[in-house]
Structure formats: structure tokens, C-alpha cells
Structure 1
């Protein structure tokens, strides 16, 4: 089973995304900030880091940079409500995806499915 670490500071968005991904068969561990995600990355294995970019204490880009050291094979997808945020070349994993809010759950699941070459989005 594909394991996703979701870091999202908005509680309703975090619960909404976690439920949708779990409904389609993914195992999701959800946290409300990057500083809560780091200890999990040190002791558990995840296939995908799904992170908001703008969060308190530790933003999603810095979290992804630290995660790349702890889990270099883990994939990364950013979600953001700030379309103007640009990802600097070399600052994030080269294959990281970016999904801008608002988005439909189907779009999120399709992107995750594509990353792992599975087909669960039809369930939404």
C-alpha cells in the first residue's frame, strides 16, 4: 500500500484531503505542520510527501529539502493557494509536482495516481 505523509496546516483541508486519499486506497498520515512531519520521516517510510507550501514554523519547501536528505526516494507534491509562489530551480526535488488551490479532489487523486501509475481516481 502506498503511504502518504500529508502536511497541511488548515485542519478542514487536511481532513478533507486525507479522507479522499484514504477512500481511494492510499494510507495517509496527516500532520498540521512541517515540524511535526520531520520526526515521522526519521522513523517511518513514506512514498509521497504531500505538503502545503505556506505553513507556520517550517514551510513546505524547506520540509521537502529536509525530507530529500532523510528519504531521497520519496516523491513530493506541493499544494498551494498562492499561485504566485514559484519554486526555485534546485530548491526542491527535481520531480516535485505542484497543484494550485482550489482544485477538485479528482485532480489531486489523478496526480497521485500518475506518480505511482495506479488508477483510483475513477472512484471519486
Structure 2
């Protein structure tokens, strides 16, 4: 049974091992977690379920090559839904962008772009789980404080 008082975190990451580790870590501290591998799947979840926070990888790969269905497009679609969008995400949905590709030459600008598109926080992989937990707590508290006003 789903506890309606557990914050629901949606994770979009094409690395199943990384997604699983995040899911286990976040469930242990009381979050409800859904993990998907593509931006389109995340948008589908956002069109039918209430989500309290989105964690998205920047790059999504298929057969080792980057594809367009990644985090930058997802952030843009969440922050700027079109007139026919079915996304139920509120405009203040906290978004955390993560990427391990920023260590590669020419890729260091990706997290900056994610921030300019509307990510509230950006993290370079690998990161410490406590760092992510603190950021999630801060973003959810900030959102709740805004909703209480």
C-alpha cells in the first residue's frame, strides 16, 4: 500500500545499477521512489502521478551513444510544458540534475545548462548519498514552506 504522506521521488537514469542504488538508499530513509530509464517514461509518470521531486541524469545512452531523450529535454518539458501537455507536475517541482559526463572534455557546461533550464540543484557523479539526502531535504522543505504561505 502506498503511503500518501511519503514524498514521491521520480528518478530518470539510464544506468540501472545507479538507479537501483539511489532507489534503495532513498527508500531506506522513507521516500517512495519510481525509477525510469528515459525522459519519455518520466513524462508519462508525470502525466498520471503526483511527484514531489525529480532527479534526472543529463545524458541518456542507447547502445553507448547519447540520445535526445535525456535530462535536458526532460527539464525543459517539465518547466515549459506546451499547450497540449498532459504533465501534472506543479511549476515548483524541485528538480535535481546529475551527470557523470561532466568530467569529459567539452562537457563541463552541461550542469550549467541544466540549471539555466530550471534544475534547482546540479550534482556531478559520483556524489555522496548524504549530499543528495541533504539537498532533497532542503528542496522539499523549501517547497513545503512556499506552499504554506
The alignment's TM-score, normalised by the length of structure 1, stands at: 0.85
User: Which structure is larger by alpha-carbon Rg, 1 or 2?
Assistant: 2
What value does the CA root-mean-square deviation take over the aligned residues? Answer: 2.0
Q: 2:101 aligns with which of 82, 91, 98?
A: 82
Count residues in correspondence.
117
Q: Tell me the alpha carbon deviations over residues 62-111 of structure 1, each in whole angstroms, 9 at most, x when there is no partner.
A: 10111222322211000111221243388511x62001111111111111
The alignment's TM-score, normalised by the length of structure 2, stands at: 0.71
* Structure 1 residues 89 and 14: CA distance shift in structure 2, 3 A: closer
Taking the TM superposition and a 5 Å limit, the aligned residue runs for 1:63-74 are 63-68=74-79, 69=81, 70=87, 71=89, 72-74=91-93
* Structure 1 residues 28 and 90: CA distance shift in structure 2, 3 A: closer
Q: Distance between the aligned counterparts of 2:77 and 2:39, measured in 1?
A: 10
- What residue ranges of structure 1 are gaps of 5+ in the alignment? 119-124
* Structure 1 residues 89 and 112: CA distance shift in structure 2, 3 A: closer
